[in-house]
Amino acid sequence: MKNQERVVIENIAPTINNGDFYIKRVVNEIVTVTADILSDGHDITAAAVLYKHEKEKKWKEVRMHPGHNNWQASFVVEKQGYYSYKVVGWIDYALNWQHGIERKIADNQHVNSELLEGISYVNKCELKATASEKKYLKHLADIFADANAYQESITEAVSERLHRIFYNYPEKILLNSSKEFQVYVDRLKARFSTWYEFFPRSASQKNGVHGTFKDCEKLLPRVSDMGFDTLYFPPVHPIGEVNRKGKNNTTEALKGDVGSTWGIGSKYGGHKDLHPQLGTIEDFKSLIKTANELGIEIAMDYALQAAPDHPWVKEHPSWFKWRPDGTVQYAENPPKKYQDILPIYWESEDFKNLWDECLDTLFYWINCGINVFRVDNPHTKPFYFWNWIINEVKAKHPDVLFLAEAFTAPKIMQQLGKQGYSQSYTYFTWRNNKHEITEYVEELTKTDQCEYMRPNFWPNTPDINPFHLQHANESKHIQRYVLAATLSSNVGIYGPVFEHMMSNPIPGKEEYLNSEKFQICNYDWFKENNLITIISKINKIRFENEALQQTNNIKFCNINNDNLIAFYKWNDSKDSELLIIINLDEHYMQEGMLQLPLAELGIGNHHHLKVKDLITDNVYEWNNEWNFIQLHASLPFHIFKIKK
């Protein structure tokens, strides 16, 4: 193949697996594209990023500029949906001509022949130029050909005006183009969300009574007052009655045991139905509506598995694996058996109908008003299934978000992000000391994971009662929440248990004793405490400070005490800048000297700086690079707003 192009374009970033997957942004974020642009010889090379929204036909262009190590250009994604982008490069013969003649004139060479050459470059620009530019270019063409106008010609040949015209209307001869890459643009919530989780069946304010959607509705103002915008419910579908689990995950359910909400499906229906004890579809829709009015979205659990009495088992037997003895294969991890759960048989020859039904289920709930799904154990279903279903949903409903509940090997979790998940649970739950936290956040924000993994930090979940929270004091709970809510713009808690510090474990395990997963719990829903007040304040600060509405703009700061962690956060426009310092010791006061990140702050050593604690409203004035910090266990953090 003969290919006369002269510009090589490579090492384009950001890209994921060479464009197999899209990078992610939310509306109004910036995409900064870098690339190596190479050409042979010494000619002047030019390059641009072309981009367009999926609904646009014409590419927009932004010119790239060479930096220290590569070429760069940025654009803003203004709409939800897919954008395409690519890099193009060409030799700019007109600028090359101007560059050459400039040097020759400076060297006192006679440039008659060069001026004659210049006429063709001038003429080519005319087509695209404005009226006044056209007039100027016509004049140049005249004088370049006129030996009597030599002095004027050599002045105009090197003029900045001609340079701008050449730059603005390049003739892209032998243009080379990279392949196209994609960015998927979500609504802001993909990047900034504050989650609260509780089990609807525990929503009753009466002891021992099964909660209902109506009970949930009564709790909404409280959730809203605390500053949460996403309320996630474990599955609300009919719970299997065959092989139902008893309290504390026992294999034999006693009479009255309510079973695991994840054992979906019974004679009352399957994934498109509601558990009758919770209420009707009308109740559920009313709940969604009231929530929305309070600024809360209901996040639904999407758990693709079936109880033995799920209607699918009879209606679509081929969606399950049948054993030679005529029984359906239940879930197992030998020697462990999970007889209350039948896994989906993804190898089914009828998989197309299976996938379609899974998709239809999502559409059903989306039509009921659901726009956020927390997906249960996505890593036990095929990766390409997720790629397909997420794309299918987003094509019709770009507002819909998916949170991947996968606590497994890092590369598996990353892969789910690549395949399209909007957000991901993370290892934050187990990252406890300064080194662990710093290393993990650097990995999430400073590697290419920042292009496709949107972390969601949860101090606890119904599945994970981490050792460090077991019997932990209020200070530790505050510490964990403020870490999660300031390090990550997506945060969530398994609410009633966390805020009331109910951390009784199964001894030796990171699980809750008498877990709500297998029984109804009773909470004193309206009991107040200091922790709840602090959580609410932190959430308010998150809503008021854009620096906390994103995760990637973070710079850890030096502080000479391993019990103190400090970091600087900012929004892209840098009109919101915060400095967060947290005491990681839940028992003792800790002191240390904090080094301000002067370079990132864009200030010198003796710049006068005011920092205001957004919890206490105390203001400190700092004139030095190193500043004294003292944090008590009772209020173990500062969220400082920086005023320069």
Catalytic residue annotation: 376, 405
| Segment near its own copies (CB under 8 A); pick from 55-63, 105-113, 283-291, 495-503 | 105-113
- The three-class DSSP label of residue 630 is strand
Q: Is 1 in the site for its own copies (CB under 8 A)?
A: yes
- Please, which residues bridge with residue 512 across strands? 505
| Amino acid at position 485, single letter | A
- Contact letters for its own copies, residues 112-141 (x by CB under 8 A): xx--xx-x----------------------
| Amino acid at position 414, single letter | Q
- Binding test (CB under 8 A) with its own copies, winner from 2, 55, 314, 606: 2
Do residues 376 and 301 make contact, with C-beta atoms less than 8 angstroms apart? Answer: yes
| Segment near its own copies (CB under 8 A); pick from 93-101, 134-142, 149-157, 429-437 | 93-101
| Segment near its own copies (CB under 8 A); pick from 80-88, 351-359, 515-523, 566-574 | 351-359
Please state the closest distance from residue 277 (CB atom) to its own copies, in A.
32
- Binding test (CB under 8 A) with its own copies, winner from 151, 333, 367, 573: 333
Q: Is 346 in the site for its own copies (CB under 8 A)?
A: yes
393 vs 559, which CB is nearer to its own copies? 393
Q: Is 4 in the site for its own copies (CB under 8 A)?
A: yes
Quote the crossing angle between the two packed helices 131-144 and 160-168, to the nearest 10°.
120
Query: Which residues within the stretch 365-404 sit at the binding site for its own copies (CB under 8 A)?
Result: 379-384, 387-388
Please state the closest distance from residue 73 (CB atom) to its own copies, in A.
18
Do residues 233 and 261 make contact, with C-beta atoms less than 8 angstroms apart? Answer: no
Q: How many CB atoms lie within 10 A of CB 254?
A: 9
Q: Is 99 in the site for its own copies (CB under 8 A)?
A: yes
Please state the closest distance from residue 117 (CB atom) to its own copies, in A.
6
- Binding test (CB under 8 A) with its own copies, winner from 334, 507, 508, 604: 334
Please state the closest distance from residue 368 (CB atom) to its own copies, in A.
26
Nearest to 385 by CA among 340, 416, 342: 416
In whole angstroms, give the CA distance from residue 605 to residue 624: 6
- Binding test (CB under 8 A) with its own copies, winner from 160, 252, 282, 347: 347
Do residues 424 and 417 make contact, with C-beta atoms less than 8 angstroms apart? Answer: yes
Nearest to 496 by CA among 294, 194, 248, 197: 197
- Binding test (CB under 8 A) with its own copies, winner from 13, 36, 167, 177: 36
- The string of DSSP codes covering 520-533 is -----TT---HHHH
Please state the closest distance from residue 392 (CB atom) to its own copies, in A.
10
Please state the closest distance from residue 414 (CB atom) to its own copies, in A.
9
252 vs 325, which CB is nearer to its own copies? 325
- C-alpha of 331 from chain center: 32
14 vs 466, which CB is nearer to its own copies? 14
| Segment near its own copies (CB under 8 A); pick from 71-79, 98-106, 297-305, 596-604 | 98-106
**The tokens of 150 are what?**
């030599």
- Contact letters for its own copies, residues 601-630 (x by CB under 8 A): ------------------------------
- The string of DSSP codes covering 533-587 is HHHHHHHHHHHH-GGGG-SS-EEE--BS-TTEEEEEEE-TTSS-EEEEEEE--SS
Do residues 615 and 537 make contact, with C-beta atoms less than 8 angstroms apart? Answer: yes
**Residue recorded with tokens 């758990």:** 303
**Residue recorded with tokens 């009109």:** 575
Question: Angle at the Cα of 240 (from 238 to 244), degrees rounded to 5?
Answer: 140
Q: Is 180 in the site for its own copies (CB under 8 A)?
A: no
In whole angstroms, give the CA distance from residue 501 to residue 51: 50
User: Which H/E stretch holds residue 423?
Assistant: strand 423-425
- Binding test (CB under 8 A) with its own copies, winner from 57, 58, 68, 411: 411
Question: Angle at the Cα of 299 (from 296 to 300), degrees rounded to 5?
Answer: 145
Q: Is 6 in the site for its own copies (CB under 8 A)?
A: yes
Q: Going edge to edge, which strands form the sheet with 65-66?
A: 7-13, 30-39, 71-76, 65-66
- The three-class DSSP label of residue 161 is helix
Q: Tell me how many residues contact its own copies (CB under 8 A).
A: 56
Q: Is 524 in the site for its own copies (CB under 8 A)?
A: no
Q: Is 318 in the site for its own copies (CB under 8 A)?
A: no
| Segment near its own copies (CB under 8 A); pick from 54-62, 311-319, 408-416, 540-548 | 408-416
Q: Is 351 in the site for its own copies (CB under 8 A)?
A: yes
In whole angstroms, give the CA distance from residue 441 to residue 555: 10
Q: Where are any strands of DSSP class E within 42-99? A: 45-53, 60-63, 65-66, 71-76, 81-91
Q: Is 3 in the site for its own copies (CB under 8 A)?
A: yes
Please state the closest distance from residue 21 (CB atom) to its own copies, in A.
10
Phi, psi of 488 (to 5 degrees): -120, 140
Give the interface with its own copies as residue ranges (CB under 8 A).
1-6, 8, 10, 17-18, 20, 36, 38, 40-42, 99-104, 106-107, 109, 112-113, 116-117, 119, 173-174, 323-325, 327, 332-335, 346-347, 351-352, 355, 379-384, 387-388, 411-412, 415
